[in-house]
Structures are given as structure tokens and as C-alpha cells.
Structure 1
Amino acid sequence: MLLAIDIGNTKIKVAVFDADTLVNKLSFNKGDIKHEIQKLFTQYAEISKIVLSSVGEEDAQLLLWLQTQGSLTIINRNSDFPFTNCYKTPKTLGIDRMVLSAGAVLQFPQQNRLVIDAGTCITYDFIDRANQYIGGAIAPGLRLRYESMHNFTAKLPLLYPEIPASYVGTTTKQAMHSGVVNGLLYEIEGFMHRYIEQYGNVVIILTGGDAEFLAKRLKNTIFVNSNFLLESLNKLYLYTIKIEND
């Protein structure tokens, strides 16, 4: 069995895989990482391999501990990826975006792919049918939009995501919900339309913590998978192992 660990900006997500099958998954705060992962090692004694990616600096003590628990593979920019990185500043491309792009290439071969990750920030990553990572966009996610309105104005309240009843808000709260949610939906629809307009057939994958919330209101045909990053980590691990053994 394999343990996949994704250390994000605000949360840590982990999943246990048996080959391609996701057996269990957890999400928790960074301070709880060792305690929560130990639970999985206790529950699944068959875990012998670990793959990890982190958007920030890796915790040296955590890595040392993980190495005592199984064979550890760290995904970073020096890892093998199934695409050519055409980003003009490749060293600034987030490892989470690279892992998602790898998962899109491995799951949807010989197709144009657009991965939309609706998390703390919402990221758009495009990989063409020739497996060239072209680039994308980064924008504030749902919660950042709500928080910025509250933090940078005098009187606007701090709200939490809620599907607006109408695009016309008749109260301040309704107007905020409409502006944030409908504004983000229009943004996503606009990006999807532009990519389809330019590239023709495009496989669109929506993932991240807010994927399910947003998917209910999107009109385009998309693949919605909130576990796509963890699944991509698993696929990328299998890919790197195959490369090393060839």
C-alpha cells in the first residue's frame, strides 16, 4: 500500500492507495500531521511506500520520521514528469500545479487538458495534447474573496460560501454572495470558453476543496474530482517508479 501526502497552504491531505484504488483519506491542520498519519500507519500495517509533495519548505524532522515508516519518495521539481514544462519561469511553478498537470496527462493521454484547482487560490493549468505544459492563471479562491472584502473594508461582514438565490442581491449579504460566487463562476466559465475556443476539444478537470460547491452551477461538461491531487500523486509515483526501473 502507498500513503500519499499533500502539504498545501492551509491543510494537509493524505490518502491510502492500494494500487489505483483510494482506500481512505484524511484532511487536517498542519500541527496534527504526525499524530494523524500515525493513525493510518496503525490502521494499515501494509503501508510500505510513501509519496509526498509540499507547496512550501519540507519539514526536515517530518521527513526523517517518515523515512522510518516506509520507503519515502519526495516529489519536487527534479522529479520525472510526463510533460514538457514550457512555463517561462519554471522554477516558480508550484509543485501542486505540476502534480495536477501530471495527473491530467496520465489520466487523459493525447488530449488537451485544463485543470482548475479551486482551493485557497484558484489555479488554471493547461497542458496540450503534445504533453506541453503551456501555463495558466492564478486568482483568489472563494474564501479569500470573502475575507478580503471583510478585512479591507470598514463595515462588510465576514461571510462563508453560500449559493446566491439570484444574481441580484437585495441586501448587503446577498450582494456579497452574488459578487463572490457568481463572479467566480463567470470567471471559470470565461476561462473554459476561451480555452475551448482556441484549442477545440479540451478535457476540463475541476478539483480542490470548493470543487463540489462550484460544480453544481457550472454549465460546461467537466470532470469533478475533489481528490484529483492525491490521485495524481499516486499516478505520478507509479510513473516515476516505472521510469526508474526502465
Structure 2
Amino acid sequence: MEASFVYKEFGVSVIAPLMEAYDLTQGILSTVVDTDEELLAFLRSKLRYFVFLNEDVALPVSVQYETPATLGKDRLAAVVGANYLQPGKDILVIDAGTAITYELIEASGIYLGGNISPGMTTRFKALNFFTKKLPLVTEQDNVPMLGTSTETAIQAGVVNGIVYEMDGYIEELRVKYPELLVFLTGGHSFYFERRLKNSIFADINLVLTGLNRILEYNVEN
């Protein structure tokens, strides 16, 4: 059985009924905020096998990132998920969320690292916050090549700029990796999927797939 849930707040009061309803026996916890020690203690006491994802956890890929302690766990999980779905392939993982991240994993299973760029909503907010006259706008389904008003100029500048950025990374990396596959994930993945001229795999659940693979790998080993 597969299911996913979204909560504004997450803790023991949320996970306890889920564990009972689904009879969970193993699990993995990944967080990019401060660790909830109460939740950690609860999971360790209730699950037969539990993994808290940090830089010491065994992984099915080799990580060459120089500062693994600061590597975002969502970035790492997305790479593992892509490698699991397409093993033995050179892969670029693009996660389009609050930030846009670009991660490269080679066919050999070596994760080389990646880049971090402001996400679409972050760019809209930054233009509004750091200037006196630019309004706060949001993305629209149809964005022109060139804006004909301040609002459409911002929309076109942000959206088209991200598209050129993504396509630029893909084209540059394909010089060295001609068979490069591209996974696009994150909250804005489907928004950009149809705008990129390069072929991609859009998978909004890539991070969850990667977390599950990390859990399975640790249970197996």
C-alpha cells in the first residue's frame, strides 16, 4: 500500500496514528530544519528498523561532496531516487522548488555535486522586496517572450530566465555526457516540464523514492 500526506506541522501527535493505521515497522526520517528529539526517540522506540538520515548513513551511491554535513538531505535523496530508477546512467537531477538545485550523478554511481539557484517564487519575492516600485507577481500559465507591462516583464524575465538556465545546464553537461538523462522534480516541476526544449523525466515523488531506497539499502545491509 502506498500513500502520502502533507502536514503543516509534524511530530509525535501526527506520526503515532499513522503508524497504527498502517502498521509501520520500519522508517526513515529526513529533515532540513532542527531535529525533533521527541520524535526521534518515539520512532526509535516504536519501529523495528529506523534510519535518521545524516552524513553517517550508508548510501547506495558514492558521494564526493566536500561538505556532506551541509548537503541538503532532499538533494541527496533526489539523486539516490534517480539513480535507483535509471541505474547505470549519467543523470542530472533538477529540483524546482523554493530553490532550484542541479545535481549530477555519473553512470558509475558517483554523485559529483551540484549547484543551488533561487527558485521561481523566491525570484518574484526578491524583485518585490529589494526594489521600491516592482510589484509582487506570480507565475501564469502563458508567459510571453517579452513583457509588454511591468507585470508581464517580471513574469517573462523570471520564467524564461529559469528555462534558459535549465536548458543551458542540460546542453553544457551533454557535451561531456552525451547520453545524459534529466530528472525534474519539486513543486514547480510540471510547470517547467513543458517549457524545456530538452527531453526530461518529471517525477514529483523523486525525493520520496530516494528516501525509500536509502531505507531499503540500510535494511538490506
TM-score scaled by structure 2?
A: 0.92
DSSP 3-state at the match of 1:91: helix
| Residues 61 and 80, structure 2, Cα contact 8 Å, conserved in 1 | yes
For residues 210 and 126 of structure 1, the distance between their equivalents in structure 2, rounded to whole angstroms, comes to: 20
Name the % identity: 34
- Equivalence for 2:213: 235
Amino acid at match of 1:96: D
| Residues 164 and 178, structure 1, Cα contact 8 Å, conserved in 2 | no
Instruction: Please say if 1:26 is aligned against 2:35.
Output: no
Residue segments in structure 1 that go unaligned for 5+ positions in a row:
1-17
Q: 1:42 offset after TM fit, Å?
A: 4.7
DSSP 3-state at the match of 1:25: coil
Q: 1:217 offset after TM fit, Å?
A: 1.2
DSSP 3-state at the match of 1:122: strand
Instruction: Please say if 1:196 is aligned against 2:167.
Output: no
For residues 99 and 130 of structure 1, the distance between their equivalents in structure 2, rounded to whole angstroms, comes to: 17
Instruction: Please say if 1:161 is aligned against 2:166.
Output: no
Matches within 5 A, 1:19-58: 23-29=2-8, 31-44=9-22, 46-58=23-35
DSSP 3-state at the match of 2:30: strand
Identify which of structures 1 and 2 has the higher relative contact order when contacts are C-alpha pairs closer than 8 Å and 6+ apart. 2
DSSP 3-state at the match of 2:6: strand
Q: 1:51 offset after TM fit, Å?
A: 0.9
Matches within 5 A, 1:90-109: 90-109=68-87
| Residues 54 and 69, structure 2, Cα contact 8 Å, conserved in 1 | no
Q: 1:210 offset after TM fit, Å?
A: 0.9
DSSP 3-state at the match of 2:4: strand
For residues 213 and 25 of structure 2, the distance between their equivalents in structure 1, rounded to whole angstroms, comes to: 16
Q: How many residues align?
A: 220
Give me the CA root mean square deviation: 1.8
Superposed CA deviations along residues 148-196 of structure 1, whole A, max 9, x for unmatched, are 0111111222222223431111111111110111111111111111111
Residue segments in structure 2 that go unaligned for 5+ positions in a row:
none
- Equivalence for 2:64: 86
| Residues 163 and 177, structure 1, Cα contact 8 Å, conserved in 2 | no
Q: 1:69 offset after TM fit, Å?
A: 3.9
Worse overlay, 194-203 or 91-100? 91-100
Within the candidate set 130, 136, 157, 2:108 is matched to 130
TM-score scaled by structure 1?
A: 0.83
Worse overlay, 88-97 or 150-159? 88-97
Amino acid at match of 1:27: V
- Equivalence for 2:165: 187
Instruction: Please say if 1:61 is aligned against 2:38.
Output: yes
For residues 20 and 63 of structure 2, the distance between their equivalents in structure 1, rounded to whole angstroms, comes to: 39
- Equivalence for 1:5: none
Amino acid at match of 2:43: L
For residues 214 and 43 of structure 1, the distance between their equivalents in structure 2, rounded to whole angstroms, comes to: 36
| Residues 163 and 181, structure 1, Cα contact 8 Å, conserved in 2 | no
Q: 1:57 offset after TM fit, Å?
A: 2.9
Amino acid at match of 1:101: V
